[in-house]
Amino acid sequence: MKAFKFGWALAPFALFGCGGPVPADMFLTMSVSTQDVAVTTSINGKEDEFLSGDSGSMSGSRPINKLVREGENENEAIFVLTPVANTGDDAAPTFLATLEIAIKGEIVDTLNPGERTLFSRELSAEEAAAISAGESVTITEHFTVDGAALKAMKNGE
């Protein structure tokens, strides 16, 4: 019984020890914006409802620190884009996904990626044409998180 109580006493500390490769006060911020297309965003196999939308027009941005792993090609963002009902504006569908490194207190501009961008992805002309023709498009982005490089960046090195 004492071992059981001891385990419960340590549980909160275990949560704080699993911070991942991103230092405190630093954020890997994913931004997703769409127009005339629905998007389902998944990060490392987990669907992210906040960065997804089926209305055809959405914009969302949030830190994904807890969803990433350290190491080369260890992280993957998948965006499944599907056409929405014709909005009548004859504009080509648009999509922009950006993953940026931000330090506490900085403002992230979701439409203009900054200098610390891990990736920024827009629709190609072929992908936009496929969506306009009623097809779904899947975009996959791989990215690396280097904990040591992030710590050096945070320390101004």
C-alpha closest to that of 52 among 66, 65, 33:
33
pLDDT-based confidence at residue 89 (cuts at 50, 70, 90):
low
pTM equals 0.79
Q: What is the pLDDT at residue 79? A: 98
Name 143's bridge partners: 75
Is the distance from CB of 65 to CB of 20 less than 8 angstroms?
yes
pLDDT tens per residue across span 21-79: 788 889 999 999 999 999 999 999 999 999 999 988 999 999 999 998 876 668 999 99
pLDDT-based confidence at residue 154 (cuts at 50, 70, 90):
confident
